[in-house]
Amino acid sequence: MKPPMVGQPPVSVLMYHQVGMFPRPKAHRAAFCDVKRFAAQMAFLKWGGYSVISLEQAYRGLFEGAPLPARPVVLTFDDGYQNFKEHAWPVLQRHGFPASVFIVTEQSGRHAGWLAADFTPAPLMDHATLRQLAREGVNFGSHTLNHRRLSQLDETQQRREIFDSKAALEDVLGQPVPDFCYPYGDYDPRARDLTAEAGYRLGLTCIRGAANTADNAFEIPRKAISYGDNVIGYAWKLHMKHARKDKPAAHADVYA
Protein backbone atom coordinates (compact mmCIF):
# COMPACT_ATOMS: atom_id res chain seq x y z
CA MET A 1 0.00 0.00 0.00
CA LYS A 2 1.92 2.97 -1.27
CA PRO A 3 1.26 6.59 -0.19
CA PRO A 4 0.15 9.29 -2.63
CA MET A 5 2.63 10.80 -5.07
CA VAL A 6 4.30 14.01 -3.91
CA GLY A 7 4.08 17.24 -5.84
CA GLN A 8 0.42 16.99 -6.79
CA PRO A 9 -2.05 19.82 -6.05
CA PRO A 10 -4.34 19.33 -3.03
CA VAL A 11 -7.27 17.10 -4.01
CA SER A 12 -10.56 17.82 -2.23
CA VAL A 13 -12.79 14.75 -2.15
CA LEU A 14 -16.12 16.17 -1.00
CA MET A 15 -18.60 14.02 0.89
CA TYR A 16 -22.36 14.45 0.53
CA HIS A 17 -25.29 12.31 1.62
CA GLN A 18 -28.83 13.49 0.92
CA VAL A 19 -29.56 16.42 -1.40
CA GLY A 20 -33.05 17.90 -1.43
CA MET A 21 -35.44 20.05 0.59
CA PHE A 22 -35.32 19.42 4.33
CA PRO A 23 -36.34 21.17 7.55
CA ARG A 24 -33.30 22.65 9.22
CA PRO A 25 -31.69 19.72 11.07
CA LYS A 26 -30.95 20.12 14.77
CA ALA A 27 -28.05 17.68 14.59
CA HIS A 28 -26.04 15.62 12.10
CA ARG A 29 -26.11 18.44 9.60
CA ALA A 30 -23.54 16.81 7.33
CA ALA A 31 -26.18 14.20 6.42
CA PHE A 32 -28.15 16.80 4.46
CA CYS A 33 -27.56 19.42 1.78
CA ASP A 34 -30.29 21.79 0.67
CA VAL A 35 -30.69 21.58 -3.09
CA LYS A 36 -30.49 25.35 -3.53
CA ARG A 37 -27.21 25.47 -1.64
CA PHE A 38 -26.01 22.47 -3.61
CA ALA A 39 -26.77 24.28 -6.86
CA ALA A 40 -24.92 27.36 -5.57
CA GLN A 41 -21.94 25.22 -4.57
CA MET A 42 -21.74 23.63 -8.03
CA ALA A 43 -22.03 27.06 -9.66
CA PHE A 44 -19.20 28.26 -7.42
CA LEU A 45 -16.98 25.40 -8.57
CA LYS A 46 -17.63 26.36 -12.18
CA TRP A 47 -17.17 30.07 -11.56
CA GLY A 48 -14.07 29.59 -9.41
CA GLY A 49 -12.17 27.61 -12.00
CA TYR A 50 -12.14 24.35 -10.07
CA SER A 51 -11.53 21.14 -11.96
CA VAL A 52 -14.22 18.65 -11.00
CA ILE A 53 -12.63 15.32 -11.82
CA SER A 54 -13.67 11.71 -11.49
CA LEU A 55 -12.58 9.51 -8.62
CA GLU A 56 -10.60 7.48 -11.13
CA GLN A 57 -8.70 10.59 -12.29
CA ALA A 58 -7.91 11.45 -8.69
CA TYR A 59 -6.67 7.94 -8.01
CA ARG A 60 -4.47 7.89 -11.10
CA GLY A 61 -3.01 11.26 -10.20
CA LEU A 62 -2.39 10.53 -6.54
CA PHE A 63 -1.20 6.94 -6.76
CA GLU A 64 0.01 6.43 -10.34
CA GLY A 65 1.59 9.80 -11.09
CA ALA A 66 -0.80 10.94 -13.83
CA PRO A 67 -1.00 14.74 -14.15
CA LEU A 68 -3.77 16.46 -12.23
CA PRO A 69 -5.39 19.78 -13.19
CA ALA A 70 -5.34 22.83 -10.96
CA ARG A 71 -7.81 22.94 -8.07
CA PRO A 72 -9.03 19.33 -8.40
CA VAL A 73 -12.31 18.42 -6.70
CA VAL A 74 -14.07 15.04 -6.51
CA LEU A 75 -17.78 14.76 -5.69
CA THR A 76 -18.88 11.71 -3.68
CA PHE A 77 -22.33 10.78 -2.34
CA ASP A 78 -22.82 8.12 0.32
CA ASP A 79 -25.71 5.63 0.65
CA GLY A 80 -27.44 5.96 -2.75
CA TYR A 81 -30.52 8.00 -1.88
CA GLN A 82 -33.28 8.45 -4.44
CA ASN A 83 -32.95 12.22 -4.00
CA PHE A 84 -29.55 12.03 -5.71
CA LYS A 85 -31.37 11.24 -8.95
CA GLU A 86 -34.11 13.78 -8.30
CA HIS A 87 -32.06 16.74 -7.12
CA ALA A 88 -28.30 16.32 -7.34
CA TRP A 89 -27.83 14.61 -10.70
CA PRO A 90 -29.75 17.22 -12.77
CA VAL A 91 -27.51 19.96 -11.33
CA LEU A 92 -24.39 17.93 -12.02
CA GLN A 93 -25.52 17.23 -15.58
CA ARG A 94 -26.01 20.94 -16.26
CA HIS A 95 -22.38 21.55 -15.35
CA GLY A 96 -20.99 18.36 -16.85
CA PHE A 97 -19.59 17.28 -13.46
CA PRO A 98 -18.78 13.62 -12.74
CA ALA A 99 -19.81 12.01 -9.46
CA SER A 100 -19.33 8.80 -7.49
CA VAL A 101 -22.23 7.33 -5.50
CA PHE A 102 -21.77 4.56 -2.94
CA ILE A 103 -24.49 1.93 -2.72
CA VAL A 104 -25.62 -0.24 0.19
CA THR A 105 -26.28 -3.15 -2.10
CA GLU A 106 -28.75 -5.32 -0.15
CA GLN A 107 -30.83 -2.25 0.72
CA SER A 108 -31.23 -0.93 -2.84
CA GLY A 109 -34.86 -0.02 -3.53
CA ARG A 110 -35.72 0.08 0.19
CA HIS A 111 -35.52 2.80 2.82
CA ALA A 112 -32.36 3.60 4.77
CA GLY A 113 -32.91 1.47 7.86
CA TRP A 114 -29.79 2.76 9.59
CA LEU A 115 -31.15 6.30 9.92
CA ALA A 116 -31.90 7.53 13.43
CA ALA A 117 -35.54 7.12 14.47
CA ASP A 118 -36.23 10.87 14.41
CA PHE A 119 -35.21 11.16 10.73
CA THR A 120 -37.76 10.97 7.93
CA PRO A 121 -37.43 7.57 6.20
CA ALA A 122 -35.33 8.08 3.08
CA PRO A 123 -35.82 5.90 -0.02
CA LEU A 124 -32.80 4.41 -1.75
CA MET A 125 -32.37 4.06 -5.51
CA ASP A 126 -33.50 0.73 -6.98
CA HIS A 127 -31.62 -1.41 -9.49
CA ALA A 128 -33.32 0.07 -12.54
CA THR A 129 -32.36 3.57 -11.43
CA LEU A 130 -28.76 2.51 -10.79
CA ARG A 131 -28.49 1.03 -14.28
CA GLN A 132 -30.02 4.14 -15.84
CA LEU A 133 -27.65 6.50 -14.05
CA ALA A 134 -24.67 4.29 -14.84
CA ARG A 135 -25.56 4.61 -18.53
CA GLU A 136 -25.70 8.38 -18.04
CA GLY A 137 -22.21 8.45 -16.56
CA VAL A 138 -22.54 8.10 -12.78
CA ASN A 139 -19.76 6.05 -11.16
CA PHE A 140 -21.05 3.64 -8.52
CA GLY A 141 -19.05 2.11 -5.70
CA SER A 142 -19.79 -0.24 -2.83
CA HIS A 143 -20.86 0.90 0.63
CA THR A 144 -21.13 -2.70 1.92
CA LEU A 145 -24.19 -4.94 1.92
CA ASN A 146 -26.04 -3.50 4.91
CA HIS A 147 -24.29 -0.35 6.19
CA ARG A 148 -22.80 -2.03 9.25
CA ARG A 149 -19.87 -0.80 11.32
CA LEU A 150 -17.04 -2.92 9.98
CA SER A 151 -14.82 -2.61 13.06
CA GLN A 152 -17.53 -4.30 15.12
CA LEU A 153 -17.72 -7.38 12.89
CA ASP A 154 -15.62 -10.51 12.89
CA GLU A 155 -13.50 -11.37 9.88
CA THR A 156 -16.12 -13.61 8.25
CA GLN A 157 -18.76 -10.87 8.51
CA GLN A 158 -16.35 -8.21 7.27
CA ARG A 159 -15.42 -10.37 4.31
CA ARG A 160 -19.05 -10.84 3.36
CA GLU A 161 -19.86 -7.13 3.61
CA ILE A 162 -16.82 -6.13 1.56
CA PHE A 163 -16.54 -8.95 -0.99
CA ASP A 164 -20.19 -9.82 -1.57
CA SER A 165 -21.29 -6.21 -1.96
CA LYS A 166 -18.80 -5.79 -4.80
CA ALA A 167 -20.00 -8.92 -6.58
CA ALA A 168 -23.67 -7.99 -6.12
CA LEU A 169 -23.25 -4.46 -7.46
CA GLU A 170 -21.19 -5.67 -10.40
CA ASP A 171 -24.01 -8.10 -11.21
CA VAL A 172 -26.58 -5.27 -11.11
CA LEU A 173 -24.52 -2.88 -13.25
CA GLY A 174 -22.81 -5.36 -15.55
CA GLN A 175 -19.48 -3.60 -15.06
CA PRO A 176 -16.55 -3.55 -12.62
CA VAL A 177 -16.93 -1.81 -9.25
CA PRO A 178 -13.43 -0.70 -8.18
CA ASP A 179 -14.28 1.80 -5.42
CA PHE A 180 -15.28 1.27 -1.79
CA CYS A 181 -16.48 3.54 1.01
CA TYR A 182 -16.53 2.57 4.71
CA PRO A 183 -19.97 3.10 6.33
CA TYR A 184 -19.76 5.69 9.11
CA GLY A 185 -16.07 5.98 8.17
CA ASP A 186 -15.69 3.02 10.53
CA TYR A 187 -13.02 0.43 9.80
CA ASP A 188 -9.99 -1.29 11.28
CA PRO A 189 -6.73 -2.57 9.73
CA ARG A 190 -8.31 -5.94 8.96
CA ALA A 191 -11.23 -4.33 7.09
CA ARG A 192 -8.80 -2.09 5.22
CA ASP A 193 -6.71 -5.07 4.17
CA LEU A 194 -9.79 -7.06 3.13
CA THR A 195 -10.84 -4.12 0.95
CA ALA A 196 -7.53 -4.41 -0.88
CA GLU A 197 -7.81 -8.19 -1.07
CA ALA A 198 -11.31 -7.94 -2.58
CA GLY A 199 -9.86 -6.15 -5.59
CA TYR A 200 -10.95 -2.59 -4.94
CA ARG A 201 -8.49 0.11 -5.96
CA LEU A 202 -9.34 2.48 -3.10
CA GLY A 203 -11.29 3.02 0.10
CA LEU A 204 -12.83 6.30 1.24
CA THR A 205 -12.97 7.28 4.91
CA CYS A 206 -14.49 10.05 7.04
CA ILE A 207 -11.05 11.30 8.08
CA ARG A 208 -10.93 15.01 7.30
CA GLY A 209 -8.45 16.63 4.97
CA ALA A 210 -7.12 16.64 1.44
CA ALA A 211 -6.85 13.24 -0.22
CA ASN A 212 -3.09 13.81 -0.53
CA THR A 213 -2.75 13.22 3.21
CA ALA A 214 -3.77 9.56 2.87
CA ASP A 215 -1.35 6.95 4.14
CA ASN A 216 -2.43 4.71 1.27
CA ALA A 217 -5.20 4.28 -1.31
CA PHE A 218 -7.46 2.47 1.17
CA GLU A 219 -7.61 5.27 3.75
CA ILE A 220 -8.42 8.36 1.69
CA PRO A 221 -9.65 11.42 3.65
CA ARG A 222 -12.60 13.51 2.53
CA LYS A 223 -14.20 16.84 3.38
CA ALA A 224 -17.76 16.63 4.72
CA ILE A 225 -20.18 19.22 3.35
CA SER A 226 -22.70 20.35 5.97
CA TYR A 227 -26.26 21.63 5.70
CA GLY A 228 -25.10 25.03 6.96
CA ASP A 229 -22.26 25.54 4.48
CA ASN A 230 -22.88 28.71 2.50
CA VAL A 231 -20.59 29.60 -0.40
CA ILE A 232 -18.09 31.30 1.93
CA GLY A 233 -17.88 28.26 4.20
CA TYR A 234 -17.68 26.01 1.16
CA ALA A 235 -14.80 28.02 -0.28
CA TRP A 236 -13.02 27.89 3.09
CA LYS A 237 -13.17 24.10 3.10
CA LEU A 238 -11.88 23.92 -0.45
CA HIS A 239 -8.99 26.34 0.08
CA MET A 240 -7.95 25.92 3.69
CA LYS A 241 -9.07 22.58 5.13
CA HIS A 242 -6.27 20.48 3.67
CA ALA A 243 -4.57 19.36 6.89
CA ARG A 244 -5.41 15.84 8.00
CA LYS A 245 -7.61 15.36 11.07
CA ASP A 246 -7.88 11.73 12.06
CA LYS A 247 -10.92 12.27 14.26
CA PRO A 248 -13.89 11.23 12.04
CA ALA A 249 -16.09 13.99 10.69
CA ALA A 250 -18.94 15.13 12.93
CA HIS A 251 -21.51 13.14 10.93
CA ALA A 252 -19.80 9.84 11.60
CA ASP A 253 -22.40 8.82 14.20
CA VAL A 254 -25.34 10.31 12.33
CA TYR A 255 -27.01 6.93 11.79
CA ALA A 256 -26.24 5.42 15.17
In angstroms, the CA 114 to CA 255 distance is 5
Is the CA virtual torsion 8, 97, 216, 183 positive or negative? positive
Which stretches does DSSP call E strand in the chain?
Answer: 12-16, 18-20, 32-34, 51-52, 72-79, 100-103, 139-142, 179-181, 202-208, 220-224
Residue 242: predicted pLDDT: 95
Among 92-101, 135-144, 165-174, 246-255, where is mean pLDDT lowest?
246-255
Among 31-35, 69-73, 210-214, where is mean pLDDT lowest?
31-35
Architecture of the domain defined by 12-242: Alpha-Beta Barrel (3.20)
Residue 25: predicted pLDDT: 62
Residue 29: predicted pLDDT: 67
| pTM (2 d.p.) | 0.94
Domain ranges of the chain: 12-242
In 3D, which of 77, 68, 163, 155 has the Cα closest to residue 112? 77
Residue 63: predicted pLDDT: 97
Residue 254: predicted pLDDT: 44
Residue 28: predicted pLDDT: 66
39-74 pLDDT per residue, tens:
999 999 999 999 999 999 999 999 999 999 999 999
Residue 119: predicted pLDDT: 73
